[in-house]
A and B are shown apart, each in its own frame.
Chain A
Amino acid sequence: MEYNEHKPIYLQNVDLMQEKIMRGEWPEEERIPSVREMGASVGVNPNTIVRSYQLLESQDIIYNKRGMGYYVKDGAVARIKENVKREFIANELPRFKAKAGMLGIGKEELIDLL
């Protein structure tokens, strides 16, 4: 796995986990790898991985079954899409708009391009 420069590792790991859930690699209501397994597969400190799991748990994406491990929560895919969309609108869209404005690309030209 390649890590980018700006996001903390635990958040990049959250992105990776969300992607796996969205792609269906980790289906809803199924068990996902343990913190230890996840850490070993990406070469990241398990304490860092714990933070990713805690964040996803607090967002109702995964949940902990006592003694059984972590599972993907029912409806997780829809919630992830909602979160990612919100982030896209809040962060990426303004940057995109600013760049288009700077280059003088108008609304109609943009619609044609899209």
Chain B
Amino acid sequence: MIEIKGLSFAYSGYKVLDNITTSFGPGRIYGLLGANGVGKSTMFKLLCGLLTTKQGTIEIDGSSPIGRKPGFLSKIFYVPEDFEGPDMSIGHYASGVAQFYPNYDAELFARLLSEFEIDAERKFTTLSLGQRKRAILALALALRTEYLFLDEPTNGLDIPSKAEFRKMVAAAMDEKRTIIISTHQVRDVENLLDHIMILDKRAVLLDKSVSDIQSEYLFDISANVPEDALYVEPGLGGCCFISNNTSGEESRVNIELLFNYINSKKK
């Protein structure tokens, strides 16, 4: 369980997170959404102790990331958006990193690499962005940490790799793990998410399970938009809109539309 209370952070006076309070529970894959610069990556860095909280508190299973204790860090893995990788082979790097993670599964790592068509003998410096990304994602999943933070994981992946990635994450999920995916490429991961969190600098604008969103709102596309629609966007084949779900019938959540609706309410 991750609990964040009154968290604020600023880069040399420029505030990105301002008094944020929220929590993340086990057994869920969270989609962490927010406009550029609201502090999604900063939040990840604070969660794993790469940055130090100055205001507010973070507790993960009762411990603060600030101490950076090995027992604490071994439960967490963070994949940044841009992963360069050191000048060594993937296999060599992985076996070094894996020593700190007691749940590491070497067989799983080998299988995930081969599904991603990556050779463990290759050096990171000889790989393309997408290949480096596939290598680090395979490692991240094989470390089998309780907490996994993925920052824009599908950035740089080619089309078949995106589908592979979804299958891998779905297979890796269990009731003890908490996976948080921050992304602007909502379509790439929407079937993986069962909880949506929309972050703004000063507040969590939305924090709801996908099934609650489905029972609360109706997402539809039609030439005739009902008068009581909450939010409308014109598009091909009619207007996309959100209305209150009064029929009890569920529709597929259009996350982009939901994001725009929630952000428009703020203004």
Contact = CB atoms under 8 A, between A and B. Distances in A.
Contacts of A83: none
Q: How many A residues are at the interface, by size bracket?
A: 20 to 34
A103 B163 CA distance: 42
B27 interface: yes
Contacts of A47: 27-28, 173, 194
Interface residues on B, range: 20 to 34
Interface stretch (A7-15, A21-29, A64-72): A7-15
Interface stretch (B82-90, B144-152, B249-257): B249-257
Interface string A27-61: 00000000010011111111110010000000000
Contact of A8 (B170, B171, B192, B250): B250
A109 interface: no
A45 B192 contact: yes
Contact of A3 (B191, B192, B219, B254): B191
Contacts of A5: 221, 252, 254
Q: Is the contact region of chain B dominated by helix, strand, or loop, or is it mixed?
A: mixed
Given A7-B251, A7-B252, A11-B250, A43 B214 contact: no
B170 A6 contact: no
B252 A46 contact: no
A12 B192 CA distance: 14
Given A45-B191, A51-B211, A40 B170 contact: yes
A46 B170 contact: yes
A88 B133 CA distance: 45
Interface string B159-171: 0000100111111
B253 A45 contact: no
Contacts of A12: 252
B43 interface: no
A8 B190 CA distance: 11
B171 A45 contact: no
A26 B169 CA distance: 25
B252 to A, nearest CB: 5
Q: Which of A11, A42, A43, A44 has the most CB of B within 10 A?
A: A43
B165 to A, nearest CB: 8
Nearest to B29: A45
B59 interface: no
A39 B192 CA distance: 9
Contact of B170 (A3, A4, A11, A44): A44
Contacts of A51: 211
8 contacts: A5-B221, A7-B251, A40-B171, A44-B170, A44-B192, A46-B170, A47-B194, A48-B191
Interface of B: 27-29, 163, 166-171, 173-174, 191-194, 210-211, 214, 219-221, 250-254
The 4 tightest CB contacts between A and B, nearest first, are A43-B166, A40-B171, A39-B170, A43-B167
